[in-house]
Amino acid sequence: MSGHGAPIDELRERLRGAGSICVLTGAGMSAESGIATFRDALTGLWSRFDPAQLASEEGFRADPALVWGWYAARRDGVRRAAPNAGHVALGAFARRHPGRLTVVSQNVDDLHQRAGNAGTIRLHGDILEDRWLEACKRRPACDTLTATPGTPPRCAECGNFVRPGVVWFGEMLPAGALEAADAAAERCDVMLVVGTSGAVWPAAGLAGRARRGGAHVVIVNPQPSEIDDEAHTVLRGTAAQLLPALLDGL
């Protein structure tokens, strides 16, 4: 598998010798699976929808039906999507080299998990997961599966709304996720940063943490990102093109 061009061949040697590899992914990782990114001009969700209205607790409380409907449509899109060659290359590498690869994702889809990276650290939650809007005060807590169907479903006991298990703007990341991601970034020998604009923190800070920890940082993105300065190598291409070229056969 030589002859991919100097940067790829050099990186393959680095990856071959790396005891620990961390992969930070963003929406661009799933773009070739047909899932829209957030900030790509015109196609990005935030160029068509207002994040404050659709991805915040205030927005949900202001119009639960609108927000639930929007997530229901995105959920359908995720269920119809399939892992692309980039997801598959990461899953296959992890199977060949158990314990050497840690995937840290900002994505709320389940394509990494479906491709074999079951241990993916999810920084921004899971779009297919249901949660109560208010913490249920009953013990044992009511199960969202028992919610009365609707847009959105509600608790038959107390009227509590069901909301998607994603991290909305202004909310805390899932407990332990950032700590685990920080640890993976700190210990890795190589970090691949794939398909993120680097616009959202604290996720965007993981590239700098890896660099300060001595890792070789590689960015995979067809466009410039806000964290290109943290990279030792920038590869202008897509996830489905470049991840197989970097990892297959290793």
User: If we measure between CA atoms, which residue out of 230, 172, 176, 168 comes closest to residue 24?
Assistant: 230
Q: Tell me how far apart the alpha carbons of residues 116 and 95 are, in angstroms, rounded to a whole number.
A: 8
- The reply on whether position 142 binds ligand APR by CB under 6 A is no
Rule CB under 6 A: choose which of 32, 109, 126, 230 binds ligand APR.
32
With binding defined as CB under 6 A, does residue 200 bind ligand APR? yes
Question: Per-residue contact track with ligand APR, 213 to 232, x per CB under 6 A?
Answer: -------xxxx-x-------
> Does residue 196 touch ligand APR according to CB under 6 A?
yes
Q: Which of 39, 74, 122, 209 binds ligand APR (CB under 6 A)?
A: 39
Binding status of residue 155 toward ligand APR by CB under 6 A: no
152 is a contact residue toward ligand APR (CB under 6 A): no
- Would you count residue 235 as binding ligand APR (CB under 6 A)? no
Query: Counting contacts by CB under 6 A, is residue 27 touching ligand APR?
Result: yes
- Active-site entry in 87, 112, 124, 216: 124
The number of CA neighbours under 13 Å toward the Cβ of 208 is 9
User: From CA 153, how far away is CA 8, in angstroms rounded?
Assistant: 49
Residues in contact with ligand APR, shown as a per-residue x/- string from 41 to 60 under the rule CB under 6 A = ---x----------------
Its sign, for the CA torsion 2, 230, 25, 235, is negative
The encoded tokens of residue 37 equal 């990114």
Establish whether 232 is a catalytic residue.
Answer: no
| Dihedrals phi, psi of 115, to nearest 5 degrees | -90, 0
33 lies in the binding site for ligand APR (CB under 6 A): no
Q: Which is nearer to ligand APR, 146 or 223 (CB)?
A: 223
Total interface residues for ligand APR by CB under 6 A = 25
Q: Which positions are catalytic?
A: 124
Which positions lie near ligand APR, rule CB under 6 A? 26-28, 31-32, 37-40, 44, 106, 124, 194-197, 199-200, 220-223, 225, 238-239
